Amino acid sequence: MPHKKQVEFNIALVGGGFMAKAHSNAYHTIPYIYNKSNYHINLDSLSAATIEEATDAAQRYSFTNAYAGFGEAVSKGSINIVDICAADFIHKDIAVAALAHGKHVLCEKPLANSLADAKAMYEAAVRAGTKTMCGFNYRFVPAVRLAKTLLERGIMGRIYTFNGAYNQDSGAFDDIPLERLWYAYGSKASGVSYGIGSHIIDMARFLVGEIATVSGLMKIYTKERPSSKGPQKVMKEEEMLALVEFSNEASGMIKASAMAAGRKNQLTFEISCSKGSLSFDLEEPNYLNVFLKDSPVTQVSGFTKVNVTQIDREHPFMDVWWPRGHGIGWEHAHINEIAHFLDCVANNKDIEPYGATFKDGLRAIEIIEAIRLSEQSKSKVEVNIY
């Protein structure tokens, strides 16, 4: 057997919550699922806002060291990868510090919670020249990648429209206290546009192309919510809506909502093209619905619900997972995503076009801010590209 080059990844994970769990799961899983016996993934440090949280998470996910705050971990000489799973508002400080120390950086989406921070991060990434990736994990769902392949190969023809939404219902019940609403609680919350709007904007750009203009709305339907301090005003948008024009003359409708009663975590799109259509729904993540106008049997013309788990049909990512028909779920997209990041670091490959770069993270925020400007000015706005 040829000897594989050994690769050392020394990881500093920043954050001890939901995403820290998803990313830790990926580091534990990648060497055996992706068959990378030459990967030595050393889970060196886990940092969180308090030492108690960091110690607890470090023990749970098998990291050697725990730190309060990110400074010590990201400056350590032995660390080569900083993985940012901390709250949005602190992404910029962590990334800029890590990049100044020459680290490769994976940062969860949204890249930042302001345009200014996102620009600073992009500039720091360019200066550092290391591998930098923004965590738009849905690019790594096999059915989404198959959609991308069909579009790239011209099988769907010219794209006319993208109709996409990220729907949740965390705000759809009036009695839910403000403290339980991730998008609206606290001065650092950045609304549904940054939290889930960034995902659907990235999906539109990934599959269709650059967004040139937007006509948008940022809606707050419930003016007041109960809270432990009594009724409080809702200050951040509960829904973002936009009509968009792409540079390639396709059109689109984009929505991100916390008010979509019944929808827990649905990312969905339908793309209408000259040769057919594609549709996807994260509530059924193993399927891509495909309609091709040119069917050999005219009587059975209609959408085909393709089970995207078939390695013998060259379905993306399925060579590492289970035999055909054995589905995968939400966490596997994170594993596929982080495997891509490690592969790019190990073999000096480009993160793009399949992974999202810091530039993609910045673009999503430029588009969100253009939608906000459109809402304020009640007019169509051209997206400013940095």
Ligand X SMILES: NC(=O)c1ccc[n+]([C@@H]2O[C@H](COP(=O)([O-])OP(=O)(O)OC[C@H]3O[C@@H](n4cnc5c(N)ncnc54)[C@H](O)[C@@H]3O)[C@@H](O)[C@H]2O)c1
Residues in contact with ligand X by the rule CB under 6 A: 14-20, 47-49, 53, 69-70, 85-88, 90, 108-109, 135, 137, 195
Query: What's 234-265 look like in SS3?
Result: CCCCCEEEEEEEECCCCEEEEEEECCCCCCCC
The reply to whether omega before 110 is within 30° of 0 (cis) is yes
What CA–CA distance (Å, rounded) separates 243 from 245?
7
Which residue has the CB atom at the shortest distance from ligand X?
17
Select 20 or 184, whichever has its Cβ closest to ligand X: 20
314: left (phi over 0), alpha (psi -120 to 50) or beta: left
Characterize the bridge pairing of strands 381-382 and 211-219.
Answer: antiparallel
Q: Which is nearer to ligand X, 156 or 364 (CB)?
A: 364
Instruction: Report strand pairing: 7-14 vs 266-273.
Output: unpaired
Round to whole Å and give the CA distance between 222 and 214: 25
Nearer to ligand X, 362 or 381 (CB): 362
Q: Which is nearer to ligand X, 246 or 280 (CB)?
A: 280
Total residue length of the chain: 386
Q: Token pair 């096999």 is at which residue? A: 142
When the beta carbons of 16 and 276 are compared against ligand X, the nearer one is: 16
Smallest gap, in angstroms, from Cβ of residue 304 to ligand X?
28
| SS3 at position 30 | helix
In angstroms, give the least distance from the CB of 367 to ligand X.
Answer: 17
Supply angle C-alpha 295, 300, 302, rounded to 5: 75
Shortest Å distance, C-beta 134 to ligand X: 10
48 vs 214 by CB, closer to ligand X: 48
Whose Cβ is closer to ligand X: residue 246's or residue 255's?
A: 255
**In contact, 384 and 366? CB cutoff 8 Å:** yes
What is the distance between the alpha carbons of residues 362 and 138, in angstroms, rounded to a whole number? 17
Token couple for 373: 């400007």
Q: How many Å apart are CA 292 and CA 275, to the nearest integer?
A: 6
Min dist. Cβ of residue 140 to ligand X (A)? 10
Considering the complex, what minimum distance in angstroms separates the CB of residue 30 from ligand X?
17
Kindly state the smallest distance separating residue 185's Cβ from ligand X, in Å. 11
Residue among 18 and 386 whose Cβ is closer to ligand X: 18
Q: Could you tell me the smallest distance in angstroms from the CB atom of residue 267 to ligand X?
A: 10
Nearest-approach distance from CB 77 to ligand X, in angstroms: 20
